[in-house]
Structure 1
Amino acid sequence: MLLRAVNCSFLLVINVCLYVSAICFFSAPGPTATKNLDNIWLNELFGKIDETNTTVETVDKFNNYQIYPRVISIVSKDYFKFFKVNLRRTCPFWSDDSKCAMRYCQVESCQLEDLPIGLKGSRHSLVDEDMSIKYMEGPQQQECEEAMQDQLGYINTTISAAAMEDFALWQAHDDLQEMYCTLPEDDGDAEYVDLSLNPERYTGYKGPSANRLWHTIYMENCFRPKNLFEVYIKSAKLTGMCLEKRAFYRAISGLHTSINIHLSAQYLLSDKGSTFLNPCGTGFWGPNVEEFERKFGPQYTKGEGTQWLRNLYFLYLVELRALQKAAPVLEHVEYYTGNDKEDEATRLAVNNLLSIVKQFPQHYNERSMFSGGQQAQKLKEEFRLHFRNISTIMDCVGCDKCRLWGKLQVQGLGTALKILFSNKARTNGYNELSPTVNRHTLQLERSEIIALFNAFARLSTSIYELDRFRQILR
């Protein structure tokens, strides 16, 4: 046993060294890359963020030093790690037979003892034996070997029966608190996924399938100026649209930007398969500067890349405002998992984050939207239906891992919009920016809270990674 531990530690040290070397080799621009990369364009990302009263510099400082470390710590806790989602729905708009392009071992853990203590509850007598929640038992060694042939985007659903029993207890507790789930994800094919075993990163999902997805979102679901046939709306054209329609486009563009930053920051730098030094064949992941440049560089985006990055900051402020507004609700959630110590730590961490969020000096002012009487309410309903349709389009993503994170981030944004614009999210005043929702009128379900925090954590990570790309390019 001791020898095995020593060998594992030895391999881990070597893997870390090779990982660092791989990042240096693959992410640092070589002679050819330096010639092609324009390192000046990213310096244009500064100053006022559209539709807000704050600046890029203010958000960078606030996020990278205060928000990012806190929210990353929070979403690593048991309450936020497990997300219930249906990944088996058929795309209602078109048939999609696309598959992820690369392969590696998706099963990262096969041992029950590796699961957190909070998931190994002992109150089995409270669990309904006929519960219909679906799960996958931890695979044995043979299954691990077979998993080596799985596609890169395969979802790791390794959760034990003991953990599933705890989920039932959590749900029973929420029911008592009137925190029952009414979301469409809660159906017979929904299952819990451990997000920590399935990090968002590059999967090889690209080409016609991915392009069709975003083309449909922009062309058929975003409000557009008349006689505009391009997929993306140029920043100069946005001025001809009303505030609400501009905000909708900026939010979707910000989400798209955030996802592209994640994939560039966690890129598969080397996929050598299973070797002595890399026994699981998981590859080496890290920032890919050239991929980032292809996503946002002016020569590839007709000069719009900087504006797309600016839209990321806009979306960040929208979800930050949602957290501030919903603080009275979130501060009273028990974050129940059955592990009293873990639950208390989660509550303290969330309340600490919310106290920092409240200190932000220039929150987004959503009260300027949908304030024009009956016509504004009609536009508000269109706004909701457009976004709901985008959430349905997530069932058309051809990569399971991409679908998982797409659905989670869309649901998180949808929860933020619910907090900001729902009729139940009534405030305590009409003219102040500071009023928050009444915790007795707005109810947030467990899955909405999990999605809200994880989606915001993704935006926070994007801004943090963006600063890393700045440093590399400089």
Structure 2
Amino acid sequence: MCSANLLKVLLCTIVLNQCLGFFNQPQGTEKSEPDDCFCQLEGKIDECNCKIDTVDSFNNVKIFPRLQSLLVKDFFRFFKVNLRRPCPFWVDDSKCAMRYCHVEYCEQNEIPEGLKGEAKPATKYTENGEDDCDEHTNLGYLNTTISEKAQLDIEKWLAHDQAQDNFCVEEENGNDSEYVDLLLNPERFTGYAGESAHRIWRTIYLENCFRPKNTFSFNPYIQTATLNSMCLEERVFYRAISGLHASINIHLSANYLLSNKHGLSLKDPKGEWGPYLEEFRTRFSPESTNGEGPHWLRNLYFVYLIELRALAKAAPYLEREDYYTGNASEDYDTKMAIKDLLSVIKKFPDHFDETTMFKGTKEAEKLKYEFKQHFRNITRIMDCVGCDKCRLWGKLQTQGLGTALKILFGGQFDYDVAGNLRNRKEMQLKRNEIVSLLNAIGRLSTSIYKLDDFRQMMR
């Protein structure tokens, strides 16, 4: 009897201590799920002197809002791209996996007068002439319609360009290149997945990224613990590609089709789009990425600093551009917005330091050549993406990063002691390069901003 009473007393004591421990626990120290904190990054960014919380504050408060207002300007919203170029490496006829997008411009009275003669029948009717408005098409549907006036203005912009020297594969030349309004074709989840999408990234990592010597793995992603066995230039290349990949995955998680999650009509052409935390966890949590997800997120900050440094280095050049579209008032506003953005970027204390790379020896020059050729191959791989919208944004962001690398490691901007550009012909940027560079940093900036949203959702 005494033993039974003693056992009851012990059990009560244990329960009481647990309750007291719970109520006395300081606020904010509750036990979390293992992956609840994986995106709460801190400390110094690899290969840089800057800390993550410094970049978060700088981007979210100063850079992100400026880019959001700049990138809606006409000069930056039209991007010329060739989406019909065949894949040079393999035969691929894959398409987006989901078919929920509504076909636009189904009715004749909905098509602008200047575009009626150019509209393709497939965008209006089925082959038998019946209205196809209610049928589903690819979720990655690309709206390539631009008004007649915009087409004429674009021809003037092209004549206004006096560019040379291209780092990436040419996008704007050729009969198959066309201007796309980026505001009508936002980057978001398209359902493009499966073997086709995996093959794109597998080819980029396994065949075009530098790998640790004397190692071989079918895993395309290099384990962070082995990166230090590679030289600085090789690590920079991998971190830049990994950061770009992470940024794209954040965009898809932050702009996800939610309609089917809430029982809404999937025939709605606009759908309901927004952040989907489970998709973000799948792409980045340690449990689903063999512990590498948080490192990939850190690489996002690294590639952001690379492109930020390129903008700072090219600032005297970019400040002298006219940003010509034919609309004098908007052109002036665009130029002032660029100057304001660059003035803020130049004050940032810890840009990426490109002067530590490719120093001195013939071996360094050889490595620099390989660096460039690897990246050019990656821009070619974008022609193998089986979803038009994914291909568009893949091309734009790789060209933007390629333009940043061209600025950092290509020709030189010839400045005098006062910081003025002596000779514009020493290095020139084409309009498409400037558009892709600013839109690419805009995508990275958005990723860092959205990453903070996902942190709040996890809390």
Q: TM-score normalised to the size of structure 2? A: 0.83
- Fraction of identical pairs, as percent: 56
**Which segment is superposed worse, 224-233 or 399-408?**
224-233
Aligned pairs for 1:140-159 (under 5 A) are 142=124, 146=132, 149-159=136-146
The one-letter amino acid paired with 1:302 is: N
Q: CA deviation at 1:381?
A: 0.3
Distance across 2 between alignment mates of 1:112 and 1:142: 11
- Asked whether the equivalents of residues 83 and 193 of structure 1 are also in contact (C-alpha less than 8 Å), the reply is yes
Q: Does 1:358 align with 2:354?
A: no
- Asked whether the equivalents of residues 102 and 151 of structure 1 are also in contact (C-alpha less than 8 Å), the reply is yes
Distance across 2 between alignment mates of 1:180 and 1:372: 27
Instruction: Determine the structure 2 residue equivalent to 1:41.
Output: 38
Instruction: Determine the structure 1 residue equivalent to 2:221.
Output: 232
Counterpart of 1:104 (choices 85, 101, 104) is 101
Distance across 2 between alignment mates of 1:364 and 1:110: 52
In structure 2, runs of 5+ residues without a counterpart are 1-30
Kindly tell me: are residues 107 and 53 of structure 1, through their superposed partners in 2, closer, same or farther at Cα, counting changes over 3 Å?
A: same
- Asked whether the equivalents of residues 104 and 273 of structure 1 are also in contact (C-alpha less than 8 Å), the reply is no
Distance across 2 between alignment mates of 1:41 and 1:404: 31
Distance across 2 between alignment mates of 1:394 and 1:212: 11
- Match of 1:42, SS state, is coil
Instruction: Determine the structure 1 residue equivalent to 2:3.
Output: none
The one-letter amino acid paired with 1:345 is: D
Distance across 2 between alignment mates of 1:137 and 1:163: 16
- Match of 1:54, SS state, is coil
- Match of 1:146, SS state, is coil
Counterpart of 2:242 (choices 244, 247, 253) is 253
Q: CA deviation at 1:103?
A: 2.3
Q: Does 1:269 align with 2:265?
A: no
Aligned pairs for 1:69-84 (under 5 A) are 69-84=65-80
- Asked whether the equivalents of residues 197 and 385 of structure 2 are also in contact (C-alpha less than 8 Å), the reply is yes
Q: CA deviation at 1:436?
A: 8.6
Instruction: Determine the structure 1 residue equivalent to 2:277.
Output: 289
- Asked whether the equivalents of residues 66 and 356 of structure 1 are also in contact (C-alpha less than 8 Å), the reply is yes
Kindly tell me: are residues 445 and 352 of structure 1, through their superposed partners in 2, closer, same or farther at Cα, counting changes over 3 Å?
A: same
Kindly tell me: are residues 108 and 298 of structure 1, through their superposed partners in 2, closer, same or farther at Cα, counting changes over 3 Å?
A: farther
The one-letter amino acid paired with 1:38 is: D
Q: CA deviation at 1:368?
A: 0.2
Counterpart of 1:454 (choices 430, 439, 459) is 439
Distance across 2 between alignment mates of 1:273 and 1:163: 38
Distance across 2 between alignment mates of 1:383 and 1:52: 20
**Looking at CA atoms only, which structure, 1 or 2, has the larger radius of gyration?**
2
Q: CA deviation at 1:67?
A: 0.1
- Asked whether the equivalents of residues 243 and 300 of structure 2 are also in contact (C-alpha less than 8 Å), the reply is yes
Instruction: Determine the structure 1 residue equivalent to 2:409.
Output: 421
Q: Does 1:61 align with 2:54?
A: no
Kindly tell me: are residues 273 and 398 of structure 1, through their superposed partners in 2, closer, same or farther at Cα, counting changes over 3 Å?
A: farther
Kindly tell me: are residues 435 and 166 of structure 1, through their superposed partners in 2, closer, same or farther at Cα, counting changes over 3 Å?
A: closer
Kindly tell me: are residues 422 and 112 of structure 1, through their superposed partners in 2, closer, same or farther at Cα, counting changes over 3 Å?
A: farther
- Asked whether the equivalents of residues 271 and 281 of structure 1 are also in contact (C-alpha less than 8 Å), the reply is no
Distance across 1 between alignment mates of 2:224 and 2:299: 10
The one-letter amino acid paired with 1:287 is: P
Question: How many pairs align?
Answer: 414
Aligned pairs for 1:379-390 (under 5 A) are 379-390=367-378
Instruction: Determine the structure 1 residue equivalent to 2:48.
Output: 52
Distance across 2 between alignment mates of 1:207 and 1:466: 25
Q: Does 1:242 align with 2:238?
A: no
Counterpart of 2:384 (choices 375, 396, 408) is 396
Aligned pairs for 1:107-118 (under 5 A) are 107=104
Distance across 2 between alignment mates of 1:385 and 1:40: 38
Distance across 2 between alignment mates of 1:106 and 1:38: 39
Distance across 2 between alignment mates of 1:348 and 1:65: 19
Instruction: Determine the structure 1 residue equivalent to 2:18.
Output: none
Distance across 1 between alignment mates of 2:357 and 2:379: 22
Q: CA deviation at 1:184?
A: 2.0
Counterpart of 2:209 (choices 216, 219, 222) is 222
| Alpha-carbon displacement from aligned partner over 1:125-148 (angstroms, at most 9, x marks no partner) | xxxxxxxxxx95599995696365
The one-letter amino acid paired with 1:47 is: G
- Match of 1:239, SS state, is helix
Instruction: Determine the structure 1 residue equivalent to 2:175.
Output: 188
- Match of 1:256, SS state, is helix
Aligned pairs for 1:429-440 (under 5 A) are 439-440=424-425
RMSD of aligned C-alpha atoms? 3.0
The one-letter amino acid paired with 1:469 is: F
Distance across 2 between alignment mates of 1:212 and 1:344: 44
Q: CA deviation at 1:113?
A: 11
**Which segment is superposed worse, 223-232 or 264-273?**
264-273
Distance across 2 between alignment mates of 1:165 and 1:270: 38
Distance across 2 between alignment mates of 1:237 and 1:141: 50
Kindly tell me: are residues 321 and 209 of structure 1, through their superposed partners in 2, closer, same or farther at Cα, counting changes over 3 Å?
A: same
Counterpart of 1:328 (choices 313, 316, 322) is 316
Q: Does 1:179 align with 2:166?
A: no
The one-letter amino acid paired with 1:253 is: S
Counterpart of 1:465 (choices 440, 443, 450) is 450
| Alpha-carbon displacement from aligned partner over 1:199-228 (angstroms, at most 9, x marks no partner) | 000000001110011000000000001213
- Asked whether the equivalents of residues 260 and 266 of structure 2 are also in contact (C-alpha less than 8 Å), the reply is no
Instruction: Determine the structure 1 residue equivalent to 2:291.
Output: 303
Q: CA deviation at 1:150?
A: 2.4
The one-letter amino acid paired with 1:42 is: C
Q: TM-score normalised to the size of structure 1? A: 0.81
Distance across 1 between alignment mates of 2:155 and 2:236: 39
Distance across 2 between alignment mates of 1:139 and 1:272: 33
**Which segment is superposed worse, 146-155 or 199-208?**
146-155
Distance across 2 between alignment mates of 1:273 and 1:171: 46
- Match of 2:334, SS state, is helix
Q: CA deviation at 1:42?
A: 2.4
Distance across 1 between alignment mates of 2:337 and 2:108: 29
In structure 1, runs of 5+ residues without a counterpart are 1-33, 121-134
Distance across 1 between alignment mates of 2:365 and 2:416: 20
